[in-house]
Chain A
Amino acid sequence: MRHVIIGAGIAGVTAAVTIKKYDKDAEVVLIGDERFFPYKRYLLTDFMNNSVKDENIFYTSEEFFAEHGIRFRKGERVKQISSQRKAIKFHHNEVLSYDKLLIATGGRPTLGPSLQPFQRYIQSYYTLQDVLLLKERLQTADVCIVSGEGLSTLDLIRGLRSLGKKVIYIVKEAEVNFPLIKTEFKEGIHEFLANKGVEIIVNDKIVAIEEKEAQFHVHTLNKLTIAADVVFAWEKYQPNLNCTRGCNIEKKEGILVDQRLRTSVEDIYAAGDCVEIYHPGIKDYWINFGWPNATQQGEVAGKNMLGMSVEYEIKETIPFNLFGKPLKARWWE
């Protein structure tokens, strides 16, 4: 039986390893669109500020996949899924059939329509490739503008400050707009960041960026113009569903799956940041981001692809550490 897994993040890798663990004869094809072996994405900021060595960021290698009997297809992108044909099509037009398919394409920060015209001026910060390029740029950069919400933003700010960069944080709301529980923060997060040397501009947003004299001039809604060496910005973190275009899999923000991570289409499963999982408690679907959640989902999906019957237990929070202080975030009220 051929198990094809699209996406070589932690959910995909865990599913591949799980399948091989329980069925040594299974054929497992894992497809990743990055040109690296799968790495620990949560360490990217530490990798950026040089507190993690190159070799420690990778948890897989050629030997890893050989040892597990997984065929890893590195740097290849899937553009189409045909549930009728039970096959996928790569960007280079190759067609590969499957018996069971797992979509684990993750999510990524996206720009809203107002920022898209300025995409070429905005430094993306999501993949290892992004961080490798960024490390070069930061050697000569002093001032960084960061615009966006969420834990990844806070993590980036932490990394930039630890490198001694001046950080200007432009944010739409006066308070963080995602729910936080069980924090050790006595003051608000913005105040905490300000105490760490971050310049915060609230109730504002970037409306235009222009390149001028080797710098980027950021114009805001409140008519401020700020010069910076690097600009980071994103609107929201979204499931990556590109390869499902034209496929009849049910989806909203993410691919809709039940607690066994089955999609609406037979023999297709989905796990990780690209899914919305049915939550029996609220009788609705639920996005469960984060590395630990994706790991567990990968295992559940892998087992179910082998015919077992395992349900995923929804986690309501994502644990996080900001400048040494713990907080937990959750994605619902």
Chain B
Amino acid sequence: MATQQIRKNQKEKTVAEQAKPPVAESIVVRLAGDSGDGMQVVGDRFADTCAMTGNDICTFPDFPSEIRAPAGSLPGVSGFQIHFGSKDVLTLGDFVDCLVVMNPAALKVNIHDLKKGGLLIVNSNSFEKANLQKAAYETNPLDDKQLYKKYDVVKINVIDIIKEALADSPLKTVEKVRCKNFFMLGLLYNIYSKSLEITEKWIRTKWKNRPEVAQANTTAMRRGFSYAQETGLTAKGAIVQRFSKGDGVYRKVNGNEAVALGLVAASENSWRDLFLGSYPITPASPILELLSKYKNFYVKTVQAEDEIAAVGAALGASYAGSLGVTTTSGPGLALKTETIGLAVMAELPLVIVNVQRGGPSTGLPTKTEQADLLQSMFGRNGEAPVPVLAASSARDCFDATIESCRIALKFRTPVILLTDSYIANGSETWRVPSPKEIPDISVEPIRHGEEYIPYKRDPETLARRLAIPGRPGFEHRIGGLEKAEDGSVSYDPLNHEKMVNLRAQKVENISKFIPKVEVYGDKKGDILVIGWGSTFGPIRTAVQNVRQNGHKIGHVQLRYIHPLQPGLKEAMDNFKTILVPEGNLGQLAFILRAKFLREVVTQSKVQGRNFIVSEIENKINEILNIS
């Protein structure tokens, strides 16, 4: 249990109080089963209930890339992890307090993440010969006494109980058995003292056209709840109290949702219609799906025939005065390369959201990685600098998206925003900002009668003026060929050099319009840990833990990678060692070395998973020479 604060004074309590489960600061639960077992559905419901009852949360669905892997097989295991707490929850949790497994394969894949002494809840009905073979078990692991020594094992014949509870249901047997995920959900609600009400309401809405299914799922969930009560499972759980984050409207949000909402907010606050040109690709597709529901906010979505058409349409829409956006993942970014170069040359605003996944090529479609950084920085022909930003958490995706749009519009440039599968699919509690808190990012429109020279630049930002094509008095030419200031094609060598330098300088100048780097923790000392993207939670927690032992450690999480935030060099100069943990083989470290001629220590992880806190903590201790 991730609880260091379980009350120790049980003896002083009344009998009634002693019957209550202890209070925990935070809990990590993982549900795992076959990809058809509905683990994502109930995991999401559990997270929703936690968020709506005042816990801070961090969740992550972990599912196979195959639409339907062979049932009961190891690759077909689907899991959903939730870390909920009465404190600021920044990570998914290194180890699991409670593991629910629906079949042998789920046990095999997940058991190593369960804490010693942790609660293991098993659907024992599924531990029969065929499933054991599919999971490559020679003997039934539930017969292994070691399992019971290591963990608190609870075996439940879920299928038998479900069939009995749903004896009167008109559903077919196979449909009744499908309700087993809701039985497990009800069980968890009881163990962690949560109400069924929020989920029951959700079930009624979800299956409003099939009331018999709604009724069966509700009954199964209630039976799970009562089963935990009857069998004393309640005492194995814990109460996680509310986390007070201040007044406001809170909701659960994942990274993709936050990007979509950030785009709508940016569209409203730039007063440009949002145009999303996108081609479906895991894990970015939900952004397209979500935005297609926002037509009432003047959002236009186009599912193009391929990645190239998608970015081309977005760039065209941008030229015509919309906020042009395209969303993709690594392989898609590779295909969009040429058009991003065109956007650099034409100096048009364009936002490219790259939800990174394991690569290269098709790689690991449903797993996370941070290996597209150098592609984003340099993956174009010619001198084609592009601002690159990275969101550090699901809720940060909202702000990072608006900031990307601001930079794209203000400096008339394509901007690449990097998120990844971990934060795209993981959920957090998010305080919904009021419209007044969201910055106005509109750009002064060109006025009737104003003299228009397409590549004449603002002396401060070096950005050119934009005019919507087709307006009388603003006829002009842009395109992929090099241009002179008046928009005419120019092969003049000196003009080309001047324009190359201006475009580069324009992007470098952005550093004057972004916030200075902020160092968390010690401002001077032994180690400065620099991260970007989804490593934020594990790094911050690791730094917090190590600093408790009196070591001088600082943490910088970079939102702006190109150009780098001002003040970074000075911050680095105040520390003996720079450590960069990242989900690649050292791409940010490569940039920092090149930029500052300073040695940095790389910590790599490319397993399709984010870092866990202890990995970073161990690395810091290793550098500090602490065994």
A interface residues with partner B (beta carbon < 8 Å): 71, 79-80, 82, 85, 87, 89, 92-97, 246
Q: Is B442 an interface residue (CB 8 A)?
A: yes
Interface residues of B in 316-350 (CB under 8 A from A): 320-322
Interface residues in B434-487 by Cβ distance below 8 A to A read 442, 445, 448, 468, 470-471
What is the chain B residue whose CB lies nearest that of A89? B271
In the bound complex, do residue A85 and residue B271 qualify as a contact, i.e. CB atoms below 8 Å apart?
yes
Interfacial chain B residues near A80, Cβ < 8 Å: 271, 298
Closest to B322 in A: A93
Kindly report which residue of chain B lies nearest to residue A80, judged by CB atoms. B298
Q: Which 5 A-B pairs have the closest CB atoms?
A: A93-B321, A95-B445, A94-B468, A93-B468, A93-B320
**A76 shortest CB reach to chain B, Å:** 10
Docked pose: A89 CA to B322 CA in angstroms: 11
| Nearest CB of A to B467, in Å | 9
Shortest Cβ distance from residue B508 to the other chain A in the assembled complex, whole angstroms: 29
Look across to chain A and name the residue whose beta carbon is closest to the beta carbon of B319.
A93
B-side contacts of A82, CB under 8 Å: 271
Give B274 Cβ to nearest chain A Cβ, in Å. Answer: 12
User: For the complex, is B273 an interface residue (Cβ under 8 Å from A)?
Assistant: yes
**Which residues of B lie under 8 Å from residue A246 when comparing CB positions?**
296, 298
**How far apart are A259's CB and chain B's nearest CB, in angstroms?**
32
B272 at interface (Cβ–Cβ under 8 A)?
yes
Q: Is the CB of B272 within 8 A of A93?
A: yes
Given contacts A71-B448, A85-B442, contact A94 B271 (CB under 8 A): no
Total interface residues on B, CB under 8 Å, equals 14
Residue among B272, B320, B442, B448 making CB contact with A92, cutoff 8 Å: B320
Q: Which of B271, B320, B322 has the most CB of A within 10 A?
A: B271
CB <8 Å contact, B321 and A94: yes
- A85–B468 Cα distance when bound, in Å, is 19
Within 8 A of A (CB), among B276-311: 296, 298
For B470, list chain A residues within 8 Å (CB). Answer: 92
Whether A92 lies near B271 (C-beta < 8 A) is no
CB-defined A-B contacts under 8 Å, sample of 15: A80-B298, A87-B271, A89-B271, A92-B321, A92-B468, A93-B273, A93-B322, A94-B321, A94-B445, A94-B468, A94-B471, A95-B271, A97-B445, A246-B296, A246-B298
Q: A80-B271, A92-B471, A93-B320 are in contact. List 8 more A-B contacts (CB 8 A).
A: A71-B448, A82-B271, A85-B271, A93-B273, A94-B471, A95-B271, A95-B445, A96-B448
Q: In the complex, how many angstroms separate the beta carbon of B233 from the nearest chain A beta carbon?
A: 52
Task: Determine the distance from Cα of A93 to Cα of B272 in the docked complex, in whole angstroms.
Answer: 7
Chain B, residues 192-228, CB within 8 Å of chain A (1/0): the string is 0000000000000000000000000000000000000
B603 nearest CB across to chain A (Å): 47
Which residue from chain B places its CB closest to the CB of A76 in the assembled complex?
B471
Q: Nearest B residue to A29 by beta-carbon distance?
A: B448
Min CB–CB distance B510 → chain A (angstroms):
24
Residues of B within 8 A of A87 (CB): 271, 445
**Least CB distance, B345 to chain A, in whole angstroms:** 22
How far, in Å, is B134 (CB) from chain A's closest CB? Answer: 53
Interface centre among A85, A89, A93 (most CB of B within 10 A): A93
CB neighbours (8 Å) of B322 from chain A are: 93
A87 to B470, CA, bound (A): 20
What residues of B have a CB within 8 angstroms of the CB of A97 in the complex?
A: 445
In the assembled complex, how far is the CB of residue B92 from the closest CB belonging to chain A, in whole angstroms?
Answer: 39
What residues of chain A lie closer than 8 Å to B445, measured between beta carbons? Answer: 87, 94-97
Residues of A within 8 A of B448 (CB): 71, 96
- B272 / chain A contacts, CB cutoff of 8 Å: 93
Residue among A71, A79, A92 with the highest chain B CB neighbour number at 10 A: A92
The distance in angstroms between the C-alpha atoms of A85 and B270, with both chains bound, is 11
Specify which of B272, B296, B445, B470 lies most central, judged by the most chain A CB atoms within 10 Å of its CB: B445
Query: Which A residue sits closest to B469, measured CB to CB?
Result: A92
Contacts of B471 in A (CB 8 A): 92, 94
Chain A residues, CB < 8 A from B442: 85
Report the minimum CB–CB distance from B298 to chain A (whole Å): 7
Chain A residues within an 8 Å CB radius of B320: 92-93
Closest A residue to B443 using CB positions: A95
Taking CB atoms, residues of chain B closer than 8 Å to A93 are: 272-273, 320-322, 468
Complex CA–CA separation, A266 to B296 (angstroms) = 25
Q: How far is the CB of A84 from chain B (nearest CB, A)?
A: 9
Residue of A nearest to B318 (CB): A93
For the complex, give the distance between the alpha carbons of A94 and B296 in Å.
19
**Interchain nearest-CB distance for B213 vs A (Å):** 32
Q: B178-198 vs A: 1/0 string, CB under 8 Å?
A: 000000000000000000000
Given the complex of chains A and B, what is the CA–CA distance between A95 and B272 in angstroms?
Answer: 9
Contacts of B468 in A (CB 8 A): 92-94
Query: In the assembled complex, how far is the CB of residue B313 from the closest CB belonging to chain A, in whole angstroms?
Result: 15
In the complex, A233→B320 CA distance in Å? 37
CB distance from B5 to the nearest CB of A (A): 48
* C-alpha gap A87/B321 in the complex (Å): 15
Residues of B within 8 A of A89 (CB): 271
* Chain A residue with the shortest CB-CB distance to B320: A93
Q: Nearest A residue to B317 by beta-carbon distance?
A: A93
Contacts of A85 in B (CB 8 A): 271, 442
Interfacial chain B residues near A79, Cβ < 8 Å: 298
What separation, in Å, do the CA atoms of A92 and B470 have in the docked complex? 9
Within the assembled complex, what's the spacing in Å between the Cα atoms of A95 and B468? 10
Distance to closest chain A CB from B55 (angstroms) = 36
- CB contacts (< 8 Å) of B273 on chain A: these are 93
Residue of A nearest to B474 (CB): A94
B298: A residues at CB distance < 8 A: 79-80, 246
Residue of A nearest to B323 (CB): A93
Distance between B444 CB and nearest chain A CB, rounded to angstroms: 9
Looking at the assembled complex, report how far the CB atom of B323 sits from the nearest CB atom of chain A, in whole angstroms.
10
User: Whole-angstrom distance from the CB of B452 to the nearest CB of chain A?
Assistant: 13
Complex CA distance for A93 and B322, rounded to whole angstroms? 7
Give Cα distance in the complex from A85 to B321, angstroms: 17
B317 shortest CB reach to chain A, Å: 9
How far is it, in angstroms, between the C-alpha of A209 and the C-alpha of B5 when the chains are bound?
A: 75
Least distance between B64 CB and chain A CB atoms (Å):
43
Give the complex CA separation of A94 and B298 in angstroms: 14
Q: Nearest Cβ distance between residue B350 and chain A, in whole angstroms?
A: 15
B315 CB, nearest partner CB in chain A, Å? 14
Task: Give Cα A80 to B272, complex, Å.
Answer: 11
Closest chain B residue, CB of each to CB of A85: B271
What is the distance, in angstroms, from B325's C-beta to the closest C-beta of chain A? 15
Q: What distance in Å separates the Cβ of B268 from its nearest Cβ neighbour in chain A?
A: 9
Q: Beta-carbon contacts of B232-271 to A below 8 Å, as 1s and 0s? A: 0000000000000000000000000000000000000001
**Closest partner residue, chain A, to B467 (CB atom):** A94
A82 to B296, CA, bound (A): 15
Within the complex, the shortest CB–CB distance from A169 to chain B, in Å, comes to 39
Shortest CB distance A274–B (Å): 21
The complex places the Cα of A80 from the Cα of B445 at a distance, in Å, of: 15
Min C-beta distance of B182 to chain A, whole Å = 40
For B296, the chain A residues whose CB sits under 8 A away are 246
Contacts of A94 in B (CB 8 A): 321, 445, 468, 471
A95 and B442 alpha carbons, distance in the complex (Å):
11
CB distance from B615 to the nearest CB of A (A): 49
Q: Bound complex: CA of A95 vs CA of B448, how far in Å?
A: 10
Q: Which residues of B contact A71 (CB under 8 A)?
A: 448
Q: How far is the CB of B379 from chain A (nearest CB, A)?
A: 30
Q: How long is the Cα–Cα vector from A72 to B599 in the complex, in angstroms?
A: 65
With A and B bound together, what is the CA distance between A300 and B327 in angstroms?
51
CA distance A92 to B79 in the complex (A): 47
Cα distance, A94 to B448, chains bound together (Å) = 11
**Complex Cα distance A93/B467, Å?**
10
A71 — nearest CB in chain B belongs to which residue? B448
A93 to B468, CA, bound (A): 8
Q: What is the CB-to-nearest-CB distance from A160 to chain B, in angstroms, rounded to a whole number?
A: 39
- Cα(A71)–Cα(B447), bound, Å: 14
Complex CA gap A89/B320 in Å reads 13
How far apart are the CA atoms of A82 and B271 in the complex, in Å?
9
Closest Cβ neighbor of B321 among chain A residues: A93
The residue of chain B having its C-beta at the shortest distance from the C-beta of A97 within the complex is B445
- Inside 8 A of B271's CB, which chain A residues have their CB? 80, 82, 85, 87, 89, 95
